[in-house]
């Protein structure tokens, strides 16, 4: 690009980002003004009404507020004591359930700080060891393990109550010397093989991956497809460059951090200061910085406001949130270079220990993607765009026999995907129900919808699946057709440059002045750790607090929440929270503006070649010209009984209708009951045949009908099909089902073809 074009492009970028910045700032001001007005109206305005100025009322409020203050600080003291005790014990998992250790990765040939636990069911819960086992992988993103099962209404609790054996992958605070993420992947493969050995007569284990554990689960499924069952990834950042980039409220600020920090070198520098270990507290600090209103004010005011009831819930969550784990320098560098900045996982650039690239298309089990529109850490684009990156079209998904199910929550935040009791009771419980039958879904891309119905016996849920095209989903999620991801290529290239510069000029010096003592001092005095141990019994100035709190509890004089002064207090708290949110909105808008003005114009670091074509780019190509469709049509007359059954299922399927879970479960029952009349195939082999036959039925329906007798060339296959048809015709479970007009017409065509051409089919076969 010559200088003139560069100047024109720079001006265009400046104008567009400037307009978006103005809209974001206006939106931030409107939201702030609206919240202030609502807070003032809710409190009754500036004047205290209803006797709020009565001296006795003021005295009662003063007593209540001081008592709440003492109880508030005592709760922080308890948090500090819990932190100190948990740290001295090595930071145990925060699991709510009992467990036994099955495998300890620290004893492997290549040791890693991971272990496989088997969850012990609580009293009153019966486990059926013949049912599909569940393996839950928690994120290793600064915090410790256990968030997937830290209370009864959780992923662990839901699976246990459904009668499934549950296993949990944990990790210890300190990494083993020299361990890498590839070593961890190999260890997790051994975990899955052990689970399969413990349940030889069960279906393949379902793998549940949360956040970072999601892409760990995907790597596991790609490297060991023979042992992994359905994969569920919750809030997992698979395509880290992606984001909404809308014109309203600013969102997804974390995707810009790698560029504004200069690339991956800062993670290496921090690990070198830690004597080769990266402190996970820095990752937690990044999460806290995302929402300063909650980190600095809201969660503490909520504790102060409800100090008589809130401490147990606050302490339970803080026990997990306040546990900070370590990584080796090799681990954090692998993550930042390949995922956060490099975004290489989906492209096949990441290789396993044996040198083979992780190809996510090798996964042969169904994949469930759960994301939320309210998640600003892993927005839906990051959770879903990898599908468009590795599959060129919907037809390729079908030809490979893959089933991908997406589910979207409207509002819950990132942590809520894993820890919310309501989400566990609804979404995660229904995911468990889906996995019973999801392997029978025809290949394709589906949206999973949950309808809530309130009946006399409580809330009931109905699940249905609606098929979509990959091109449609990619277009809907990416308003700007992902042109906003182009500057991230410059970030990746600049990051490689700054990383090499750091390793050449600064790293030797940093490593020379760092040792275990300096690393430990830095860790202990990290602000997040200090705020815990500083307000604990280690601090002699806190000695008075426990007796004072005990005295307050014995003489508590609480005011009702609707007291005028309490309402004034809450109004002031809401205004302060709104101010911090306004600051965040302005900060994020400026971050986005700065990022695009720098990296969209950083021409020396932009890629010279055009990026690989994505799903949306194939829309102009006729579907019949796609290689997957050509390959399927070329095999229209090849196959046998399995292909015939799959083709019949495609020809007779209901078109354009949502698929209720009840119909899918009925199909599973029929497959089980008539197994002797159906092809004996593994689920993934059956899905691949079904996908290829669907392409034939869709793009060459006449040929699909004419060549059907060829697939039934053997007399035994024809008799087997007639027996199956007769049994289905008289099955009581299907008597009430009324075929659509399209199905009835197709059924007549199929009957006519099979009755008119069996003799000719046999002659051709001989």
Angle at 439 between CA 435 and CA 442, to 5 degrees: 130
Among all chains, which residue has been given the structure tokens 């210890």?
Answer: 172
The low-confidence residues of the chain, meaning pLDDT below 70, are 1-2, 44-53, 244-251, 455-457, 603, 606-621, 735-736, 756-766
Q: What is the pLDDT, as a whole number, of residue 14?
A: 85
d(CA 266, CA 263) in angstroms, rounded, equals 7
E-strand ranges in 235-325 read 277-279
d(CA 36, CA 431) in angstroms, rounded, equals 40
d(CA 523, CA 327) in angstroms, rounded, equals 13
720-747: buried (b, 16+ CB within 10 Å) or exposed (e) per residue?
A: bbeebeeeeeeeeeeeeeeeeeebeebe
**Token pair listed for 318:** 């803080």
Helices (H), 137-180: 155-161
**Token pair listed for 481:** 């057709």
d(CA 597, CA 8) in angstroms, rounded, equals 13
d(CA 503, CA 505) in angstroms, rounded, equals 6
Q: Are 193 and 347 in contact (CB under 8 A)?
A: no
For the chain, how many helices (H) and strands (E)?
33, 13
Q: Are 283 and 526 in contact (CB under 8 A)?
A: no
d(CA 750, CA 756) in angstroms, rounded, equals 10
Q: What is the pLDDT, as a whole number, of residue 762?
A: 42
d(CA 417, CA 428) in angstroms, rounded, equals 9
Q: What is the pLDDT, as a whole number, of residue 247?
A: 53
Instruction: Give me the domains of the chain, ranges plus CATH numbers.
Output: 98-245+334-479 (3.40.50.1820), 621-765 (no CATH)
pLDDT digits (tens, 9 = 90+) for 587-638: 999 999 999 999 988 867 766 555 555 544 444 567 788 888 999 999 999 9
CA dihedral 20→23→27→30, nearest 10 degrees, is: 160
Order across the sheet with 98-104: list the strands. Answer: 98-104, 114-120, 166-171, 134-137, 206-210, 231-234, 367-372, 403-409, 444-455, 458-468, 659-660
Using left for φ > 0, alpha for ψ between -120 and 50, and beta otherwise, residue 176 falls in beta
Angle at 164 between CA 163 and CA 169, to 5 degrees: 145
d(CA 76, CA 68) in angstroms, rounded, equals 12
CA-atom Rg of the chain in angstroms: 30
Q: What is the pLDDT, as a whole number, of residue 725?
A: 86
Among all chains, which residue has been given the structure tokens 């699946």?
Answer: 465
108-143: buried (b, 16+ CB within 10 Å) or exposed (e) per residue?
A: beebbbbbbbbbebeeeeebeeebbbbbbbbbbbbb
**DSSP, res 104:** E
**Token pair listed for 30:** 């409107």
**Token pair listed for 258:** 């790698």
d(CA 690, CA 708) in angstroms, rounded, equals 14
Question: Rounded to a whole number, what is the largest CA-CA distance in the chain?
Answer: 106
User: Which helix H or strand E contains 466, and what residues bound it?
Assistant: strand 458-468
- Residue 72's alpha-carbon distances to 302, 447, 548, in angstroms, are 10, 45, 12
d(CA 634, CA 175) in angstroms, rounded, equals 53
Q: What is the pLDDT, as a whole number, of residue 539?
A: 94
Q: What residues does 208 pair with on adjacent strands?
A: 136, 232
Q: What is the pLDDT, as a whole number, of residue 690?
A: 92
Among all chains, which residue has been given the structure tokens 């709440």?
Answer: 68
- Residue 475's alpha-carbon distances to 119, 313, 544, in angstroms, are 42, 41, 61
Report the Cα–Cα distance between both ends of the chain, in Å, rounded: 66
Q: Are 134 and 158 in contact (CB under 8 A)?
A: no
CA dihedral 92→94→99→105, nearest 10 degrees, is: -50
């Amino acid at each position: 690009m010559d200088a003139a074009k560069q100047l024109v492009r720079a001006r265009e970028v400046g104008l567009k980002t400037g307009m978006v910045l103005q809209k974001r700032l206006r939106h931030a001001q409107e939201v702030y003004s609206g919240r202030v007005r609502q807070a003032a109206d809710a409190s009754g305005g500036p004047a205290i009404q209803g006797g709020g100025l009565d001296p006795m009322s003021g005295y009662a409020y003063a007593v209540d507020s001081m008592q709440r203050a003492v109880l508030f600080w005592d709760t922080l003291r308890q948090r500090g004591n819990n932190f100190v005790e948990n740290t001295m014990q090595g930071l145990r998992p925060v699991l709510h359930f009992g467990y036994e250790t099955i495998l300890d990765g620290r004893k492997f040939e290549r040791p890693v700080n991971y272990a496989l636990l088997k969850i012990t069911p609580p009293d009153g819960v019966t486990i059926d060891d013949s049912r599909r086992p569940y393996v839950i992988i928690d994120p290793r993103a600064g915090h410790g393990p256990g968030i997937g099962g830290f209370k009864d209404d959780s992923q662990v609790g839901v699976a246990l109550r459904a009668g499934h054996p549950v296993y949990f992958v944990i990790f210890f605070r300190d990494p083993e010397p020299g361990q890498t993420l590839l070593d961890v992947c190999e260890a997790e493969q051994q975990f899955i093989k052990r689970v399969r050995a413990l349940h030889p007569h069960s279906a393949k284990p379902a793998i549940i991956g949360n956040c970072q554990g999601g892409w760990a689960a995907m790597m596991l499924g790609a490297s060991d497809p023979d042992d992994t069952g359905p994969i569920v990834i919750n809030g997992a950042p698979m395509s880290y460059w992606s984001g909404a980039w809308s014109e309203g409220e600013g969102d997804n600020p974390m995707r810009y951090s790698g560029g504004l920090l200069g690339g991956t070198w800062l993670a290496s520098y921090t690990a070198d200061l830690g004597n080769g270990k990266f402190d996970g507290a820095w990752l937690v600090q990044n999460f806290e910085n995302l929402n300063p209103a909650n980190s600095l004010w809201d969660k503490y005011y909520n504790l102060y406001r409800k100090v008589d009831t809130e401490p147990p819930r606050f302490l339970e969550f803080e026990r997990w949130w306040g546990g900070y784990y370590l990584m080796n320098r090799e681990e954090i560098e692998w993550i930042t270079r390949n995922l956060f900045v490099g975004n290489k996982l989906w492209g096949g650039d990441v290789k396993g220990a044996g040198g083979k690239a992780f190809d996510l298309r090798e996964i042969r089990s169904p994949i469930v993607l759960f994301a939320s529109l309210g998640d600003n850490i892993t927005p839906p684009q990051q959770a879903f765009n990898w599908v468009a990156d590795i599959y060129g079209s919907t037809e390729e998904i079908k030809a490979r026999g893959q089933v991908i199910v997406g589910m979207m929550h409207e509002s819950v935040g990132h942590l809520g995907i894993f820890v919310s009791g309501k989400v566990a009771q609804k979404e995660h419980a229904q995911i468990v129900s889906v996995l019973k039958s999801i392997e029978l879904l025809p290949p394709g891309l589906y949206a999973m919808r949950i309808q809530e119905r309130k009946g006399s016996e409580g809330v009931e849920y109905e699940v249905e699946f609606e098929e979509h095209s990959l091109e449609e989903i990619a277009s809907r999620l990416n308003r700007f057709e992902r042109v906003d991801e182009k500057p991230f290529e410059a970030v990746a290239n600049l990051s490689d440059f700054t990383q090499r510069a750091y390793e050449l000029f600064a790293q030797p010096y940093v490593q020379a002045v760092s040792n275990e003592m300096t690393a430990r001092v830095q860790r202990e005095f990290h602000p997040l750790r200090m705020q815990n141990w500083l307000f604990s019994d280690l601090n002699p100035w806190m000695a008075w607090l426990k007796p004072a709190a005990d005295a307050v509890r014995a003489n508590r004089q609480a005011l009702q929440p609707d007291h005028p002064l309490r309402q004034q207090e809450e109004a002031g708290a809401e205004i302060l929270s709104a101010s911090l949110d306004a600051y965040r909105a302005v900060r994020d808008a400026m971050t986005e503006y700065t990022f695009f003005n720098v990296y969209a114009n950083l021409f020396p670091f932009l890629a010279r070649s055009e990026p690989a074509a994505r799903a949306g780019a194939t829309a102009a190509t006729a579907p019949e010209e796609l290689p997957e469709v050509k390959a399927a049509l070329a095999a229209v007359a090849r196959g046998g009984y399995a292909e015939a059954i799959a083709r019949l299922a495609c020809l007779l399927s209901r078109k354009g209708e949502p698929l209720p879970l009840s119909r899918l479960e009925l199909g599973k029952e029929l497959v089980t009951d008539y197994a002797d009349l159906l092809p004996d195939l593994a689920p993934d082999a059956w899905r691949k045949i079904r996908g290829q036959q669907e392409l034939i039925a869709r793009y060459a329906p006449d040929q699909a009908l004419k060549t059907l007798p060829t697939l039934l060339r053997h007399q035994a296959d024809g008799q087997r099909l007639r027996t199956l048809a007769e049994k289905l015709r008289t099955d009581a479970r299907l008597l009430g089902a009324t075929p659509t007009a399209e199905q009835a017409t197709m059924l007549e065509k199929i009957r006519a073809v099979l009755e008119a051409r069996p003799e000719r089919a046999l002659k051709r076969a001989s």
